[in-house]
Amino acid sequence: MTAGASRLFADLEVDVEPDAALGPRTWFGVGGRADALVRPRSIDALQTLVGRCHRDGIELRVLGEGANLLVEDEGVGGVVVRLDHPAFRERQIEGRGGADSVRAHAGVELPRLILETSRAGLAGLEGLAGIPASIGGAVKMNAGGAFGAIGDRLHAAAVLDRRGEVSVYAAADLKLGYRRASLPGPVLLWASFSLESDDPMRVQERVREVFAYKRSTQPLSDHSAGCMFKNPPPDSSGEKRSAGQLIDQAGLKGLAVGAASVSRQHANFVTVAPGATAADIVALADLVSDRVFDHAGVRLEREVVVWGRGRGEEGVRHDA
């Protein structure tokens, strides 16, 4: 970390860890380090830091739960922000349901919010059970699966622009799509959701059913980052295709590069064994993409976010 970079936050309410290991903070458990990992202790400190990074042309990334992230072995430059102070874990839950019945800051863990809303008898988020994300990362990538996406229930979001100023946007303004949301700024501050009142026991039972389904079909006990690839668009006849199905049909289950391999339980998961490197995972993902293209004529797009030095604006985002 350079002296110039350290002056960004020397007078702010933040905790700073220079040369911080990022790999162990991801679900893959591999990868390099950050020049500086910064934990703001207040929203004001975060706003000032975001504005200064923009002013000085310094890359800014937001680290969520690390569940959809791969950090290259060389690590990343600039500033990585972690929103895990209590100021960024606040949430308000209104048991009556309706629009804006739940508001959660970016650092709130999605599984915890699902647990709390289900106990309060609020339905709508239970289809996201088993997704290990922060609210900031989940909204940024419009996290979801077979049972729906978080954008289906999003009511509004507060976003910091590059100057560190806060604006609130309705969900319709964020151009939500499959595994994406167009945030008009680098940092999500909080999001609110529209949920319905229901019997708490019934909502909690749906949570258990969704989680049981995922546990039976996905390698949740292995080191992975969830689905490696996005599902491609429907083919010319309108038939939907899943990335896992295409990988399986190409005969790639068990394919390995180094200590990274395609899961035999779910072909769209890449799992890692001790000794794996980020380079192994990237090389395997590229090989799978090429093999699927050769077999089916479909080019798969990675869902897992890759952070590395020199990636520029691609890195200015929340991970999950």
Full residue range of the structural domain in which residue 62 is found: 3-86
Q: What average pLDDT score do residues 95-124 get?
A: 92
Instruction: Kindly state the percentage of the chain with pLDDT values over 90.
Output: 80
Query: Does any domain span residue 310?
Result: no
Residues 94 and 73 in one domain: no
Does the structure show a pLDDT above 70 at 318? no
Lowest mean pLDDT across 46-55, 89-98, 164-173, 179-188 = 89-98
Model confidence over 17-28: pLDDT tens digits? 999 999 999 999
* 303 part of the active site: yes
pLDDT at 25: 96
- Asked whether 36 and 5 are in contact (CB, 8 A), the reply is yes
pLDDT at 202: 96
Q: What average pLDDT score do residues 299-310 get?
A: 93
Residues 204 and 107 in one domain: yes
At 5, is the pLDDT very low, low, confident or very high (cuts 50, 70, 90)? low
Q: What average pLDDT score do residues 52-75 get?
A: 95
Query: Does any domain span residue 127?
Result: yes
Q: What average pLDDT score do residues 287-307 get?
A: 97
pLDDT at 218: 80
Q: Which residues contact 194 (CB under 8 A, 6 or more apart)?
A: 98, 99, 100, 101, 124, 153, 154, 155
Query: Does any domain span residue 309?
Result: no
Model confidence over 126-135: pLDDT tens digits? 999 989 999 9
Sheet-wide strand order for 270-272: 256-257, 260-262, 270-272
How far apart CA 187 and CA 166 sit, in angstroms, is 10
Residues 98 and 211 in one domain: yes
- Residue in the structure block whose two tokens are 């093999």: 291
Identified catalytic residue from 65, 82, 227, 291: 227
Q: Which of 167, 191, 216 is the last residue of a domain?
A: 216
Residues 191 and 122 in one domain: yes
Question: In this predicted model, which residue has the larger pLDDT, 169 or 234?
Answer: 169
Query: Does any domain span residue 114?
Result: yes
Query: Does any domain span residue 37?
Result: yes
* 179 part of the active site: yes
pLDDT at 314: 40
Strand, helix or coil at 6?
Answer: helix
- Asked whether 55 and 4 are in contact (CB, 8 A), the reply is no
Identified catalytic residue from 303, 311, 313, 317: 303
Strand, helix or coil at 292?
Answer: helix
Residues 201 and 247 in one domain: no
Query: Does any domain span residue 316?
Result: no
Total domains in the chain come to 3
Continuous segment of H or E residues that includes residue 30: none
**Helix ranges restricted to H, 232-274:** 243-249
Q: Which residues contact 168 (CB under 8 A, 6 or more apart)?
A: 156, 157, 158, 159
Model confidence over 148-190: pLDDT tens digits? 999 999 999 999 999 999 999 999 999 999 998 999 999 999 9
Lowest mean pLDDT across 39-53, 236-250, 263-277 = 236-250
Which token pair is 308? 């590395």
How far apart CA 245 and CA 14 sit, in angstroms, is 46
Q: Which CATH number goes with the domain that contains 271? A: 3.90.78.10
Residues 254 and 191 in one domain: no
- Asked whether 231 and 36 are in contact (CB, 8 A), the reply is no
Identified catalytic residue from 82, 103, 179, 317: 179
Does the structure show a pLDDT above 50 at 317? no
pTM for the full predicted model: 0.90
